[in-house]
Structure 1
Amino acid sequence: MTVENNGPLPGSGTNRVPLSRQRRGVLQYLRGQAAPVTAGVLAQVCALHVNTVREHLDALVDDGLAVRERSSPAGRGRPAFRYRARPPQESPAREYAGLAAVLAAQIAGSSADPRRDALAAGAEWGRLLTAGQPPTADPKEARTRLLDLLEEIGFAPEADADAHQVRLPRCPFVETAREHPGVICGVHEGLARAGLAALGPAPQQVELLPFAEPDACRLHLGMTEQTTGEDDEDTAEHPAPAGPPEAHR
């Protein structure tokens, strides 16, 4: 399978400057703290000047890798800022783009059935991301909650009113998806399938159409014969303009 268009834009975090060794070290120290800490405390741990640490912390906050919050008031003066690292599942998925590229190449090169293994890996990811979330009895709410999850990961989903037809104009792993679309897109479809199954009352159909548009992928959720028929009627009344070249051969 080859990709003939550019597809989605990179997902959240794509414009981030790669972390320097020192900034990555500050982040690692921050992740090792049991509770939010001040820049002064972290400066002692990192053996850096407090102004240097504060600069790194502010950049990590801007990148979504850390959270800044005020300490509780105690005496006179403004309470100091405290910082904590975001858990990995809250951090922009761009942090794991390099790992995704390595794993995709491994699956594509060694698996007897890359798509099957990609779907299975994505399903495990979806179950992990939805672990502990109670399912809803409303299928539409389940679809909406899945879209919220995809938003957090960095897909920027754009859906119709019933959350059936979804455009994905961004992808956190788009560079790797262009190289190994069968693997990366399979992982994302597996994630959507397992996530929707965990969040809803009953299985709903999930279909991902990678690079279906020049600037987006498409995701169909819970499509039934009735909704498909309605879409066909609407298309007949209002024909769509000619689409882009086929995304895959």
Structure 2
Amino acid sequence: MSVENNGPLPGSGSNRLPLSRQRRDVLQHLRGQAAPVTATTLAHVCALHTNTVREHLDALVDDDLVVRERSAPAGRGRPAWRYRARPPQASPAREYAGLAAVLAAQIARSSTDPRADALAAGEDWGRVLTAGQEPTADPEEARKRLLHLLGEIGFAPEADARTRRVRLRRCPFVETAREHPGVICGVHEGLARAALGALGETPQDVELLPFAEPDACRLHLDTGTGPTGPDAVKHPHRPATPGEDR
């Protein structure tokens, strides 16, 4: 099952809007070139009009994803512009996005309980990310530390005054999450639950509402006294409707 709601932006760590499919294809073709190329050469590779490719390249240059440079002078006339793709940002989100897509598809195909396996994987990830950190006795401080961790990963969290209701405005794996929400969102929920459990001494409930808003997912954090095992995690089965406070 896939999700049609746009949800959060990709977790690139910048305010860049998501690339259109055609612009993303142009960038991918450019990344496949062994050396800088002209817009005309790339247009042949992409099977697009040169002016169309040039427009996409100009936008990619503005987004700092592509470098534009002059060719070496050769005879009369101004040297042509050549383009090369910048290396992908050195961030965990970009480095592992492809691997996440492959693993999510594998879990969705082969697991008898994809949701449970995704939660378990996320919990393992959360424990790894918080290994060696001393838990705090202040539940609110634990929640703030979790938000800091989520911000470092690329979720761009935006919380209310008490850090109980959080909007996740970005997602490191949003494209894969749209295709396999039960897996990727389960991993993220498990991550938040295990990390919060490691960062604080007081058990707290965790509820992730995937694609709950047109431009964000919602994460609900609260102090609780119930069990802290996997059964304590709430599993929403539908996105919240606009204005609904679940």
Report TM bin, short chain: 0.5 to 0.7
Aligned alpha-carbon RMSD (Å): 2.7
Matched AA of 2:144: T
- Matching of residues 211-226 of structure 1 within 5 Å: 211-222=211-222
- Equivalent residue number for residue 108 of structure 1: 108
Alpha-carbon contact 2:136-2:201 (below 8 Å) kept: yes
Distance (whole Å) between structure 2 residues aligned to residue 2 and residue 196 of structure 1: 28
Distance (whole Å) between structure 2 residues aligned to residue 189 and residue 208 of structure 1: 6
Alignment TM-score, normalising by the size of structure 1: 0.61
Alpha-carbon contact 1:214-1:244 (below 8 Å) kept: no
Deviation at 1:92, TM superposition (A): 3.6
- Equivalent residue number for residue 156 of structure 1: 156
- Equivalent residue number for residue 44 of structure 1: none
- Equivalent residue number for residue 84 of structure 1: none
Alignment TM-score, normalising by the size of structure 2: 0.61
Deviation at 1:209, TM superposition (A): 0.2
- Equivalent residue number for residue 141 of structure 2: 141
Task: Return closer, same or farther for 1:190/1:9 CA change in 2, 3 Å cut-off.
Answer: same
SS at match of 2:218: strand
Distance (whole Å) between structure 1 residues aligned to residue 187 and residue 140 of structure 2: 23
Gaps of 5+ in 1: 23-58, 66-90, 226-241
- Equivalent residue number for residue 208 of structure 1: 208
Deviation at 1:129, TM superposition (A): 0.4
- Matching of residues 1-40 of structure 1 within 5 Å: 1-12=1-12
Deviation at 1:190, TM superposition (A): 0.2
Deviation at 1:202, TM superposition (A): 2.0
Task: Return closer, same or farther for 1:93/1:220 CA change in 2, 3 Å cut-off.
Answer: same
- Equivalent residue number for residue 64 of structure 2: none
Alpha-carbon contact 1:7-1:213 (below 8 Å) kept: yes
Matched AA of 1:171: C
Deviation at 1:2, TM superposition (A): 4.0
SS at match of 2:209: strand
Deviation at 1:4, TM superposition (A): 3.0
**4+ runs of 1 displaced by more than 4 Å?**
13-22
- Equivalent residue number for residue 188 of structure 1: 188
SS at match of 1:166: strand
Distance (whole Å) between structure 2 residues aligned to residue 117 and residue 102 of structure 1: 15
Aligned length: 167
SS at match of 1:118: helix
SS at match of 1:136: coil
Deviation at 1:244, TM superposition (A): 8.0
Distance (whole Å) between structure 2 residues aligned to residue 203 and residue 109 of structure 1: 33
Matched AA of 2:114: P
Matched AA of 2:177: A
| Superimposed CA distance per residue, residues 196-234 of structure 1 (whole angstroms, 9 cap, x where no aligned partner) | 000001220000000001111000011569xxxxxxxxx
- Equivalent residue number for residue 170 of structure 1: 170
Alpha-carbon contact 2:168-2:217 (below 8 Å) kept: yes
Distance (whole Å) between structure 2 residues aligned to residue 207 and residue 64 of structure 1: 30
Task: Return closer, same or farther for 1:204/1:243 CA change in 2, 3 Å cut-off.
Answer: same
- Equivalent residue number for residue 243 of structure 1: 242
SS at match of 2:204: coil
Distance (whole Å) between structure 1 residues aligned to residue 32 and residue 132 of structure 2: 35
Distance (whole Å) between structure 2 residues aligned to residue 64 and residue 102 of structure 1: 20
